[in-house]
Structure 1
Amino acid sequence: MASISTAIDDIDVLAKARRNIAGDYFPSPDEEYMSPRQLEYFRTLLQEWKRSILAASKDTLQQLQDGPMREPDLNDRASSETDWGIELRTRDRQRKLIAKIDSALRRIDEGEYGYCEVTGEPIGLGRLVARPIATMTVEAQEAHERREKISRDD
Structure 2
Amino acid sequence: MEQKDIEYFRQLLASMLDEAQQKGDSTLEDLTDNNEIFADPADRATAESDRAFTLRIRDRERRLIKKIRAAIQRIDDGSFGVCDECGEEIGVPRLKARPVTKLCINCKSKQEEDEHLRGD
Structure 1 and Structure 2 fold alike (TM over 0.5): yes
- Write the letter of the residue equivalent to 1:113: F
* Mapping for residues 108-127 of structure 1, pairs under 5 Å: 108-127=75-94
Q: Any stretches of 5+ residues in structure 1 without a counterpart?
A: 1-33
- Write the letter of the residue equivalent to 1:63: D
Match of 1:148 among 103, 106, 115: 115
Using the TM superposition, give the Cα deviation of residue 86 of structure 1 relative to its aligned residue in structure 2, in angstroms: 0.8
Which residue number in structure 1 is paired with residue 5 of structure 2?
38
- Write the letter of the residue equivalent to 1:66: D
8 Å Cα contact 1:124-1:137 kept in structure 2: yes
Using the TM superposition, give the Cα deviation of residue 140 of structure 1 relative to its aligned residue in structure 2, in angstroms: 0.3
Using the TM superposition, give the Cα deviation of residue 70 of structure 1 relative to its aligned residue in structure 2, in angstroms: 2.8
Match of 2:25 among 52, 58, 82: 58
Alignment of 1:47 onto 2:14: yes
Percent pairwise identity: 38
Which residue number in structure 2 is paired with residue 25 of structure 1?
none
Runs of 4+ in 1 over 6 A off after TM superposition: none
Alignment of 1:137 onto 2:110: no
Count of residues in correspondence between the two structures: 120
For 2:90, what is the secondary structure of its paired residue? coil
- Write the letter of the residue equivalent to 2:104: T
Report the RMSD for the aligned CA atoms in angstroms: 1.7
